[in-house]
């Protein structure tokens, strides 16, 4: 199990490495958005932090869609769906944490919030939720363009929606945005928001797993057709 998990993780790390230019642009995107706002908007940290979902979610989409044929071959070779999803998840979450730490450090250095720990926590939780969201979109939608457009829509609504509205609470980055919003105000309680993010992420992973089984799972072998019994007249002719 451990060897197969490591093999799957290495394979998907290779897939992302082949698309390193796109991944690098995704990693720089939230910093570019933050840089455009930090001298002009009091919400620069919130917008930049939630926009970091583009990095983790986009990388998950780029990992999911090109690997469908490889997933089928691995499943035929005996790799269980849980191993294929978990191996991909390990690589993406590890990369997401690294990018989140860099993004949060730059925003803290640029803005100097009163509670920098909330910035780190908010950006990391954004990445934690963005990876399973990207996996779910990559499994549900047929092409990268559609998946990326849906990701842009979800992140855009999360950024622009009032935090107290129902639509904001239903989106996957609500708990993270609350922590980012608290960076310059009263500190927010971390553990309930972590639990909410983990719950949301688990639900998204379940959707990704079910969609993966439907789209890229191994089809059952056709049922063997038993020849019909020969008629009495045919036996007599023989």
Give the per-residue SS3 of 169-181: HHCCCHHHHHHHH
Using DSSP, state whether 94 is helix, strand or coil: helix
Overall pTM > 0.75: yes
Task: Give the pLDDT score at 231.
Answer: 54
Contacts of 216 (CB under 8 A, 6+ apart): 68, 71, 72, 75, 139
10-residue mean pLDDT profile of the chain (238 residues): values are 82 83 91 92 93 94 77 77 85 94 96 93 97 93 91 95 89 94 84 95 93 63 46 53
Task: Give the pLDDT score at 71.
Answer: 75
Task: Give the pLDDT score at 222.
Answer: 43
Pair of tokens at residue 136: 């779910």
* Listed residue (97, 88, 99) closest to 24, CA to CA: 99
Task: Give the pLDDT score at 37.
Answer: 93
* Listed residue (144, 184, 180) closest to 49, CA to CA: 180
């Amino acid at each position: 199990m451990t060897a197969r998990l490591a093999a799957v993780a290495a394979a998907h790390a290779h897939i992302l490495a082949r698309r390193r230019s796109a991944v690098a642009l995704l990693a720089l995107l939230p910093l570019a958005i933050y840089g455009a706002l930090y001298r002009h908007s009091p919400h620069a940290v919130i917008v930049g932090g939630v926009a970091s979902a583009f990095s983790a979610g986009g990388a998950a989409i780029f990992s999911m869609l090109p690997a469908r044929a490889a997933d089928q071959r691995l499943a035929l070779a005996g790799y269980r769906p849980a191993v294929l999803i978990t191996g991909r998840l390990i690589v993406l979450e590890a990369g997401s944490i690294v990018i989140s730490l860099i993004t949060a450090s730059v925003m803290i250095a640029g803005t100097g919030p009163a509670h920098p720990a909330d910035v780190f926590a908010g950006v990391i939780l954004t990445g934690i939720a963005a990876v399973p969201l990207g996996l779910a979109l990559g499994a549900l939608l047929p092409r990268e363009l559609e998946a990326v457009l849906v990701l842009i829509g979800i992140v855009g609504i999360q950024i622009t929606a009032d935090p107290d509205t129902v639509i904001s609470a239903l989106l996957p980055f609500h708990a993270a945005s609350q922590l980012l919003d608290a960076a310059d105000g009263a500190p927010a309680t971390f553990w309930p928001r972590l639990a909410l993010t983990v719950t949301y992420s688990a639900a998204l992973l379940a959707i990704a797993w079910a969609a993966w089984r439907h789209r890229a799972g191994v089809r059952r072998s056709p049922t063997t057709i038993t020849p019909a019994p020969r008629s009495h007249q045919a036996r007599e002719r023989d």
